[in-house]
Structure 1
Amino acid sequence: MRIVLYVLTALMLLAPVSASAQDWIEYTNLEQRFSVNLPGEPTIEDTVITSQRGDMYPAKIFRASDGVSNYMVKVVDYTDAIVSDVRSSVSWEAWQYRMTARDAGGEVTFDGYAQIDRIEGHQLQITNADKSKTYVAIHVYNRRLYVLEATSPEGLPRPMLFQVSLSTLNEDGQRARFTIDADGQRISED
């Protein structure tokens, strides 16, 4: 009888997790050259961002929610930008997150280097004033800035399914693959 009780309890605890995980999709956007796991089809909004030097660039924001946590991918198109705007875009975006967190009474609890698919970037973890957590990953590939942001209420696990799912795509819509040479330089496997 105890075993039946344990099995039933385990099934009841796992059922919501399994059901919500099944709703996730791999969202692909060929125009912006990325794919990412999301808890459903995102809404898409066009916007403009300002670079560190004050120049304006077009961007798209993709938003999705699972009813508890919110997920966002921002893609900034730097194809017509000068090199210094492209190279400074990751640190500029990270700085803006730091200042926004500070001004809103939050605390940056991790601020450091990150990479995904051997594409260098930056990662931030923020505890917001309401104790929710925001996880941010920022990467540049092929003159596009990719910003992933997930915000979850206090007590929920990190949104790993989202965080590690970014894939950048080449001009053929295939996942961009790289190796790293002895000097740390990225070499395309395409």
Structure 2
Amino acid sequence: MSVPRPAHQATLSAGPTPGTVIGPAYWKQDERGAIVYATFKLLQRDAKVTGRSWEWQDMVEGHSIQLTNNADQSRAFAFVGMHEHRLYILEGTVPKGYPEPGLFQQFLGWVDKDGNGIRYQGIIYSNASHGLGVYPVPPRATRPATPPR
């Protein structure tokens, strides 16, 4: 799935040489809508929606979608979330009659820039609120990227 990045453009005619300015004039609104847009694209498939909800994975908000393909009856489970300005689309599909592919999503975790596992405490992280600086980022506990032995 490709998620378009709109180019906001204005043409200036100040003197003999026109110029074009391309910039992210509404980048915050674009970022806030990314989860909804990606979810919308998943829902446009030739499939029956069997589940759709607001969800969180490891304390980061997103959308959960479950689909049954109309042609071959395969099942798809997807999670669409955003963390620190990055959009994540996780999808698992299995043939008809196989166990639901939700387990892989339940092991999603987040790491900091140094590779250390993180988990927010008490408040679910929302990129629209916390990632864009509207509210402070919730406190988080750090944990090693690999469990101790």
TM-score over 0.5 for the pair: yes
1:81-105 alpha-carbon deviations (Å, 9 max, x no partner): 8211211111110001111x2xx2x
2:32 match: 87
Cα RMSD after superposing both structures: 2.5
Contact 1:138 1:148 survives alignment (8 Å): yes
2:116 match: 174
Counterpart check, 1:150 vs 2:104: no
Q: 2 CA distance for matches of 1:172 and 1:187?
A: 19
**Equivalent in 64, 74, 86 of residue 132 of structure 1:** 74
1:50 match: 4
2:49 match: 108
Change (3 A) 1:94 1:48: closer
Q: 2 CA distance for matches of 1:170 and 1:132?
A: 35
What letter matches 2:111 in structure 1? L
Equivalent pairs counted in the alignment come to: 112
Counterpart check, 1:165 vs 2:107: yes
**Equivalent in 12, 26, 42 of residue 97 of structure 1:** 42
**Equivalent in 116, 119, 139 of residue 60 of structure 2:** 119
Contact 1:132 1:152 survives alignment (8 Å): yes
Contact 1:176 1:188 survives alignment (8 Å): no
What letter matches 2:3 in structure 1? I
SS in structure 2 at match of 1:49: coil
Percent identity between matched residues is 27
1:48 Cα deviation from its structure 2 partner: 5.7
Change (3 A) 1:89 1:153: same
SS in structure 2 at match of 1:164: helix
Q: 2 CA distance for matches of 1:49 and 1:122?
A: 16
Q: 2 CA distance for matches of 1:156 and 1:174?
A: 34
Contact 2:63 2:80 survives alignment (8 Å): yes
